[in-house]
Amino acid sequence: MSQRIRLRVNGVEHQAEVPDHLLLVDFLRDELGLTGAKTGCGYGICGSCTVILNDQVIKSCITLAAQADGAEVRTVEGIATQSELHPVQAALIEKGGYQCGYCTPGVVMTATALLEKNPNPSEAEIRAGLAGNLCRCTGYTRIVQAVQDAAVVMRD
Amino acid sequence: MSEAFTYVGKSLPRLDGREKVTGAAHYTADLVLPRMLHGWLLRSPYPHARIKRIDSSKAEAFPGVMAVLHHDNVLERVYPPETRPAEQTRFSFSAFDVTNPPPGTLGHSGKYQAVREQVLFPNEVTHVGDVVAAVAAETAEAAEQALALIEVEYEELPAVFDSEEALTDRVLVNTWLKTNVVRVVEVKVGPVEEMLSQAAMTVSGRFRTQKQKQCQLERTCALADVDTAGKITLHAPTQMPHAVRRILADVFRLPMSKVRVVTPNIGGAFGKNIGMSAEPYTVALALAARRPVQVVYQRDEDFIGSESRHPVIMDITLAFAADGTLLCIKANSLLDAGGYATQSGEVTQVHGGYLIRLYKSKSIHYQGTAVLTNTPVSGGYRGYGAPQALFALEQLIDIAAAKLGMDAMELRRKIALKVGDIDPPTRRPVVCSGLEECMDRGAASIGWAQKRGKGRQGRRRRGIGMVIEVSISGTGGLAGFQEKGTAIVKLTEDGSVNITCGATDLGTGVKTAIAQICAELLQVPPDKIDVSFGDTDASPFDIGSHGNRTLFVPGLAVREAALELCKKLTDYAAKMLECDPAKVVLKDGRLHVGSDRSLSISEVVNHGHFNNLEFIAVGVAPVANAAGFGAQFAEVEVDTETGEVQVLRVVSAHDVGRAINPMIVAGQIEGGVFHGLAQALAEEMVVDRQTGQPLNPNFMDYKFLTAADVPNFEAILVQPVDPNGPFGVKGVAQNSTSMAPAAIANAVADAIGAHIHELPITPERVLAALRAAKS
Amino acid sequence: MSATTIDSRFTYRRARSLDEAIALLQEHEGARVIAGGQSLMPMVNMRLVTPAMLVDIGRIQELDYVRVSNNALEIGALTRHLTLEQSPVVRQHCPMLSAAAGYIGHVHIRNRGTIGGSLSHADPAAELPLTALALNATIRTRGPRGVRDIPAHAFFLGVFTTALQPGELVEQVRFPMRTPNHRWSFLEQVRRHGDFPLVAVATILELNGAKIGNAVIALGAVAATPVRAKRAEASLSGQEPTVDGFRSAAQLAAGEVEPSDIIHASAAYRREMVEVYTRRALETAG
């Protein structure tokens, strides 16, 4: 009824024995104390639980911790360096692309992965890319602007 | 505006930026206390039933279960013998219950009694999802499993789901009450019958709006702890900590001083957290288990177990003279309160206010009724009755303008509330309005003159529509409402500042704007100002965050406190420098006398602290209000084969008085449009008309729109600088939400030549309207 | 939620091959397969299903492939939707498949969801089952009794119901390669970006000179399974592609299905949209 898993989270190796049914989001939050990823719906629509697994954004609320065995996981806590925020994070602050901040960790992960794969996205591509991250506060306008700004910074 | 401010008017990045974008910020469900238990709630599957028997013995025996509460055992399990009541205390989940509006409120009929029919664990449930029992266990899994072991025998009772049917009282929603009507508001002013009979032209219509859910991303939750001395600490994303504290103290029979409410970061609220939801159950479980208990609702529980927007049926007639003078507003509104009354009385009043305040009329007759139904409870949601009201009123204005042969904006300019007019809720003249500029700039941006009435051809038709509004800035100075805003400002020895206030930041960023106000007055940079909101131990009473008040009223309180501190500083500096206080100037964090002598704030405070002087001020907001106007314009494209409506642009111009932080205000406006657009086109909580079952309490079938579904929203800030608010601020937070359904409805009407009277404006309704217009 | 919950925990086993997975399914009552988990885990989290065991086949790399072989496009069951969307091979040889995959949910879902999973799940509104039917794909399955090939039109039997026997799993899906005289389109109507469609239409017009040879009009989301509008197809066969012809075919198509009332649209509206979207799809293809 439990699994031994090994995975790297934000560059740090972890080994743990986890219940078979444990969701990845709960592993990150309860076992590792990384509470940036959150459960907003529990069925993969709202995106508050977004993390990057092996370079791809996924919904950690519909992923088992066991499925992450051997994987490289990045969460919002690992996006900034020791000294600097990631351009996506800095742009969100600069543009006012967050309000309550609950969706923000998920948005940061999705936007980061989007720009890593597509350094010069159109507005439509940004909006489609963010369609798996629901936000109730901003109306999305400033999130999109922040991603556009971050894209410019990352291209330089 | 020629004043040169250092901090006010600047789009400074919010002070909580780093913690939010790095995921460091803690919300209630992120908190962990030692020995914390997990609480789950058992909910009624029936819309109306009596509980005949509950047997929780198997649940109580389940491994890991530390407390099980329900109607039969709550009194012994939660109350010690010395305070135990004979029966469960009746209260209201509405935090406004503490204000209990007295006679003299808008439309008070002289018979208003706040309805307090709720108990923690009823033996008669009034909606699907009503709480029957609660379990606290060592793990969430154990709690969930234990719930299934609670045996409940229900006796189903007749239920009513339609508000018009409920009005007849043929079926009682709650047999503890004698009627389903929880509030009647009536306002009658002027010679109504005479004006109706004299009218050259009338427009009438019936309008219906839907149940909408706030859908904040943070699921409803609370965390309660009881310390060894019996003091409760409740961590909850409430909007009204002081009010909640008082209600909980009353229910649990504790002195208020032994109840502390703390608000961690809030993951969006939008009015939902004016009403209590998880709080009382969480406290009850903590008291019973004598350990911390955390309750986190599943998303479907959030839909049906916390309050949503009132569905409203409105019958409205507007009567005009030939020149467009408004002779009568006659409006009858029926609000669906759902299974419990909570704040439906307040919403009925406020909704009526939106119908009768905006346009000057020679006579008014508003009758608003809130009625219970056996459906999920309605409560506070951004706009608070305004979106529904404006959806009806502003479409009728468009229809009237067409009948009068006037441009729709021209009619609004003629009859809208203006400077000098008596403002009904305050009974005093309007002193400041930016409405004209809002209309001018919004109309120019959307292309009103070029596009209005011009897009009505082809398979994809375009249209533009407008709406205007006037709203309040908090509840100060409104007849019969109670407003209470207080803040403490403290200077420290190094010249930094602590502010505490009992209002809450729902995530809007208001704490940064409050810091900017204080920064400007004390000449201390905002990043040296710590703003603590929402801790009832630390802050004096404040009614909480709602009604466009959180910058206006706490801002006034902080202003008063800061001004008092300025005076204390200059007086003491004068003593230290041995000069006339009138010669001391506070600037750039220093106190100057002439050009050659100055002291830092730090030096003054430090000196004072060791000479028996404190620099603490308690600021009380003066009773004040400011009318905040707005004009919103929408452009839509309608596919006449499918009926689908695409919103191309929304331009929302707001008279904000002064924008303390333009970026924050613009963000509020843009985000508010989203809620209104969703209400206009996409969202509806559907309750089965036969069974009372909510059919879509999830994000699959409840259409919370994505970034790919909406355009950029555009905010225009108009700043006439109001004399009432701090630095001229007016409240604005709800207003763009209030206007959007009407703006989109009027735009659709411009595109297709027919008005739609029901929300949401679904493709089917558009097709039906197109066909009706053809024939 | 509430009173019908039972123990939501389950055991987890990872299979290194399909045969191992099949053996585990046979051995353990209440065991289900998980690949991407994008359909299954939401149901588990909402307590709509309570499996006793999940057998994870998501690591069987050998089943994640796209290749041209035997004049067909062969797609391993564990190929992710993102691959279908972005693979140049798929875009070239089976562009409808690529387009359809791009409609699935949002990027997070497409990163994980698999074609085998989508076809097995057989949601009546899903894009890949519709595409498989329209393109006359062959689904190769592996089970306790060996391997078999099932044509798409015999695979989807009802709502969430396929021809898969207990213990039988999808191993590969084969699509015919597109030929230059094929015109195609794939359209869907959604209430919100990324949703399952209210109606989806996949069309293929095979042109023989100026006339339509075979026509395929496949409808999704409006019946228990994706369906072919056979009378509509027949009306186009042998005809030149014309606006009037498309309109008539669309009307016929609408008459061939009986969509039900759903929370977001009445049956009458949905039927009307079948006509509108079929016509638009044919106009796009033609």
Q: Beta strands of B492-567 (E only): which ranges?
A: 497-501, 529-533
Query: Looking at the partner chain, which of C3, C8, C189 has a beta carbon nearest the beta carbon of B45?
Result: C3
Q: Is A19 within 8 Å of chain C by CB? A: yes
Count of residues in chain B: 775
Question: pLDDT (tens digit, 9 = 90+) per residue, B27-41?
Answer: 999 999 999 999 999
Query: Could you tell me if B508 lies within 8 Å of chain A, comparing CB atoms?
Result: yes
ipTM, 2 dp: 0.98
What does the radius of gyration of chain A's CA atoms come to, in whole angstroms?
Answer: 15
Inter-chain contact C194–B706, Cβ cutoff 8 Å? yes
With beta carbons under 8 A apart, name residues in chain C contacting B301.
Answer: 1
φ and ψ at A77, to 5 degrees?
-65, -20
- State whether residue C5 sits within 8 Å of chain B by CB: yes
| Dihedral sign computed on CA atoms, order B169, B170, B171, B177 | positive
Ramachandran angles phi, psi of B491, nearest 5°: -95, 145
For residue B450, which amino acid is it? Q
Over its C-alpha atoms, chain B yields an Rg (Å, rounded) of: 27
Buried b (16+ CB within 10 A) or exposed e, B94-118: bbbbbbebeeebbbbeeebebbbbb
Average pLDDT, chain B: 95
d(CA B651, CA B670): 9
**pLDDT classification of B772: cutoffs 50, 70, 90:** very high
Taking only the tens place, the pLDDT of each residue in B427-482 is 899 999 999 999 999 999 999 999 999 999 999 999 999 999 999 999 988 866 66
| Chain A from 15 to 34: CB within 8 A of any B CB | 29, 34
Tell me which chains share at least 3 CB pairs under 8 Å with chain B: A, C
- How far off is chain B from A67, nearest CA to CA, in Å? 21
- CB of B231 within 8 A of CB of B88? no
Cα within 13 Å of Cα(A155), Cβ side = 11
Check CB contact of B144 with chain A, cutoff 8 Å.
Answer: no
Interatomic CA distance for residues A50 and A36, integer angstroms = 9
Give the model's pLDDT for residue B663.
98
Please say whether the dihedral angle defined by the alpha carbons of residues C223, C228, C231 and C235, taken in this order, is positive or negative: positive
Contacts of A36 in chain B (CB under 8 A): 22-24
Q: Which fold has domain B17-24+484-620?
A: Aldehyde Oxidoreductase; domain 4 (3.30.365)
Q: What is the DSSP string of B204-251?
A: EEEEE--------SS-SEEEEEE-TTS-EEEE---S-HHHHHHHHHHH
Q: Is the pLDDT of residue B141 over 80?
A: yes
> pLDDT tens for residues B534-561?
999 999 999 999 999 999 999 999 999 9
Q: Per CATH, the architecture of B215-305 is what?
A: 2-Layer Sandwich (3.30)
| Cβ-based contacts under 8 A for chains B and C | 65
Separation between Cα atoms, residue B203 and residue B768, nearest integer Å: 21
A134 pLDDT above the threshold of 90 = yes
Q: pLDDT by residue (tens digit) across B337-349?
A: 999 999 999 999 9
In which element (H, E) is residue A16 found? strand A12-19
Contact C264 B701 (CB under 8 A): yes
Kindly tell me the sign of the dihedral angle through the C-alpha atoms of C253, C254, C258, C261. Answer: positive
Per-residue pLDDT tens digits for B142-180: 999 999 999 999 999 999 999 999 999 999 999 999 999
Compute the average pLDDT of residues B255-272.
97
Q: Count of H helices and E strands in chain C?
A: 12, 14
> Is the CB of B762 inside 8 Å of chain C's CB atoms?
yes
pLDDT over threshold 90, residue B265? yes
Smallest Cβ–Cβ distance between B667 and the set A45, A99, A127 belongs to A99
User: How high is the pLDDT of residue B483?
Assistant: 83
The domain ranges of chain B are 17-24+484-620, 215-305, 407-472+625-774
Q: Give dist(CA C136, CA C129) in Å, integer.
A: 10
Chain A touching partners, 3 or more CB pairs below 8 A: B, C
Q: What phi and psi values does residue B737 have, to the nearest 5 degrees?
A: -65, -45
Helical spans, DSSP H, in B405-546: 408-415, 435-446, 448-451, 510-522
Distance CA B7, CA B5 (A): 6
Size of interface A-C (CB pairs under 8 A): 78
Among residues B178, B137, B594, A45, the alpha carbon closest in space to that of C109 is found at A45
Confidence of residue B112 (pLDDT cuts 50, 70, 90): low
Question: Looking at residue C96, what is its pLDDT?
Answer: 98
pLDDT tops 70 at residue C1: no
B407-472+625-774: same fold as B17-24+484-620? yes
| Cis? peptide before B760, omega within 30° of 0 | yes
Phi, psi of B206, deg, nearest 5: -105, 135
Residues ≥6 apart with Cβ < 8 Å to C54: A20, A64, C10, C11, C12, C13, C31, C32, C33, C34, C40
Are C269 and B705 a contacting pair at CB < 8 A? no
Contacts of B534 in chain A (CB under 8 A): none
Structural contact between residues C60 and C17, judged by C-beta atoms closer than 8 angstroms: yes
Split at pLDDT 50, 70, 90, the class of B202 is: very high
Q: Measured between alpha carbons, how far is B551 from B548 in angstroms, rounded to an integer? A: 8
- The backbone torsions φ and ψ at residue C81, rounded to the nearest 5 degrees and listed phi first, read -60, -35
- Would the CB atoms of B30 and A134 count as touching at under 8 Å? no
DSSP A80-142: S-SS---HHHHHHHHHT--SS-SSHHHHHHHHHHHHHH-SS--HHHHHHHTTTS--SSSTTHH
- pLDDT confidence band for B1 (50 / 70 / 90): very low
pLDDT in tens, B389-430: 999 999 999 999 999 999 999 999 999 999 999 998 888 999
Q: Does A10 touch chain B (CB under 8 A)?
A: no
How close is the nearest chain C Cα to the Cα of B272, in Å?
21
C-beta of residue B724 within 8 angstroms of C-beta of residue B473: yes
- Residues of chain B in contact with residue A103, where contact means CB-CB under 8 angstroms, are 217
- Phi first, then psi, for residue B585 (nearest 5°) are -120, 130
Q: Which of chain A's residues have a Cβ under 8 Å away from the Cβ of B671? A: 99, 136-139
The pLDDT, as a whole number, for residue B586 is: 93
With residues binned 3-state (H G I as helix, E B as strand, rest as coil), the percentages for chain C, rounded to 5, are 35, 30, 35
Give the total residue count for chain C.
Answer: 286
Asked whether the predicted pLDDT for residue C247 surpasses 50, the reply is yes
Q: With a CB-CB cutoff of 8 Å, which residues 98-157 of chain C face chain B?
A: 106
CA-to-CA distance for B502 and A22, rounded, in angstroms?
39
Give pLDDT tens digits for B685-705.
999 999 999 999 999 999 999
Per-residue pLDDT, C280? 98
Torsion of CA B465, B470, B473, B474, to 10 degrees: -100
Letter string b/e over residues B677-712, b meaning 16 or more CB atoms within 10 A of that residue's CB:
bbbbbbbbbbbeeeebbbebbbbbbbbbbbbbbbbe
Which one of B43, B682, B708 has the shortest CB-CB distance to C191? B682
The answer to whether the CB atoms of B642 and C6 lie below 8 A apart is no
Query: Which residues is B154 bridged to in the sheet?
Result: B51
Q: Would you state the pLDDT for residue B96?
A: 84
pLDDT the model gives residue B577:
94
pTM over 0.90: yes
Cβ atoms within 10 Å of C3's Cβ, excluding its own = 16
Is a pLDDT exceeding 50 seen at residue C2? no
- State how far the Cα of C27 lies from the Cα of B134, in Å rounded to an integer: 39
pLDDT > 90: what percent of chain B? Answer: 93
A21 close contact with C: CB closer than 8 A: yes
A47 touches chain C (CB under 8 A): yes
In this predicted structure, the answer to whether residue B107 has a pLDDT above a threshold of 70 is: no
Interface test with C, best of A22, A57, A67 (most C CBs within 10 A): A67
pLDDT given for residue B106 in this prediction: 52
Residue B509 with chain A: CB contacts under 8 Å: 96, 99
Query: Helix-strand-coil percent breakdown of chain B, rounded to 5?
Result: 30, 25, 45
Q: Give the closest of B147, B703, B705 to C3, CB-based.
A: B147
Closest residue by Cα to residue B180 from B255, B252, B127: B127
The full DSSP string for B403-427 is: HHT--HHHHHHHHB--TTSEETTTT
Alpha-carbon distance of B631 to B612, in angstroms, equals: 54
Residue from B10, B12, B21, B215 to probe the interface with A (highest A Cβ count within 10 Å):
B21
* pLDDT tier, B95 (very low <50, low <70, confident <90, very high otherwise): confident
> Is the CB of residue B372 less than 8 Å from the CB of residue B339?
yes
- According to CATH, the topology of domain B407-472+625-774 is Aldehyde Oxidoreductase; domain 4 (3.30.365)
Q: Is A138 on the interface with B (CB under 8 A)?
A: yes
CA-to-CA distance for B547 and B733, rounded, in angstroms?
Answer: 8
Cα separation, B384 vs B364, whole angstroms: 21
Strand partners of residue B91? B118
pLDDT at residue C3 in the model: 43
Where residue A62 falls among pLDDT bands split at 50, 70, 90?
A: very high
Q: Which of A81, A87, A74 is nearest to A146 (CA)?
A: A87
The nearest CA of chain B is from the CA of C143 a distance in Å of 33
Write down the pLDDT at residue B588: 87
User: B763 with C269: CB under 8 angstroms?
Assistant: yes
Q: Is C256 helix (H, G, I), strand (E, B) or coil?
A: coil
pLDDT for the residue numbered B291? 98
Q: What's the pLDDT at B638?
A: 98
Interface list for C 193-222 with B (CB within 8 A): 193-195
Q: Most A CBs within 10 Å: which of C78, C107, C112, C191, as the mutation test of the A interface?
A: C107
